[in-house]
Amino acid sequence: MAAVNDTANAVTLHYIFDPLCGWCYAAAPLVEAARGVPGLKVAFHGGGMMTGANRRAITPQWREYVMPHDRRIAEMTGQPFGEGYFEGLLRDTGAVMDSEPPTTAILAAETLRAGGGLDMAHRLQRAHYVEGRRIADADVIVALAVELGFDAEAFAASFKQLSGEATTKHIAESRQFLQRAGGQGFPTFVLTQADGNAGRVDIGPWLGRAEEWKAKLAEFVGPSQAVATASADATPPMCGPDGCAI
């Protein structure tokens, strides 16, 4: 399964997510904080929440449904939601939410630059939730890649190569990983030690507390540390595997 870095012989935080998942956007500061923990690798796994039959067109009903949940995320985490999103994209009935193109963009960015995948994931989230841009559109994706310092032609070539079968394979592997990890939706975090010991991590208590989360993760970097496993009763905020019913 695709990863941000080579995870062999390393403590690794696996991030199973979707670029159109509101609670993944809520967790974005935690992912960024984790990337700054010395000795910790971060691996991404795009789960394809809104692909195939689950692709969704923007409608007035959808806007009314998601806005209270988005405002809850903002209150809980401090993550910004822009007018371009609330009054632009969520009123754009010609827009279609499709996770596959942005997932391909993330894979393409990682192919071109180690760590570029998560850079792209976070840029796509900001483009969607703050700027209200159509992140399933190829021209928007290439423009964002250029903003991140990628060569437009090289990125477009990588995107084309990874579209279709390669992205479908990545999504299928990510879903299999989610199932093996016992995760119920997105985001799911799994921490693995170099010896293969692994456990899910409940991020619910850490939302909006990125620096404390970073300090906690640092405690688990080392072969002698036990993995923090989510409680069986824990119900962290998340989007379901087939849609973001928050």
Taking CA atoms, 215 is separated from 35, 126, 151, in Å, by 12, 25, 36
Residue 25 covered by a domain:
yes
The pLDDT of residue 52 is above 50: yes
Residue 71 covered by a domain:
yes
CB 89 within 8 A of CB 134: yes
CA distance 154 to 199: 38
The pLDDT of residue 235 is above 70: no
Residue 185 covered by a domain:
yes
Q: List pLDDT tens digits, range 131-182.
A: 999 999 999 999 999 999 999 999 999 999 999 999 999 999 999 999 999 9
Domain boundaries, position 45: 11-219
Residue 4 covered by a domain:
no
Residue 225 covered by a domain:
no
Neighbours of 100 (CB within 10 A): 20
Q: For residue 234, what are its two tokens? A: 């824990």
List beta partners, residue 96. 57
For the chain, how many structural domains are there in total? 1
Q: Count of H helices and E strands in the chain?
A: 9, 6
Residue 3 covered by a domain:
no
Residue 226 covered by a domain:
no
Residue 224 covered by a domain:
no
CA distance 5 to 165: 22
Task: Look up the CATH number of the domain holding residue 171.
Answer: 3.40.30.10
Q: List pLDDT tens digits, range 85-114.
A: 999 999 999 999 999 999 999 999 999 999
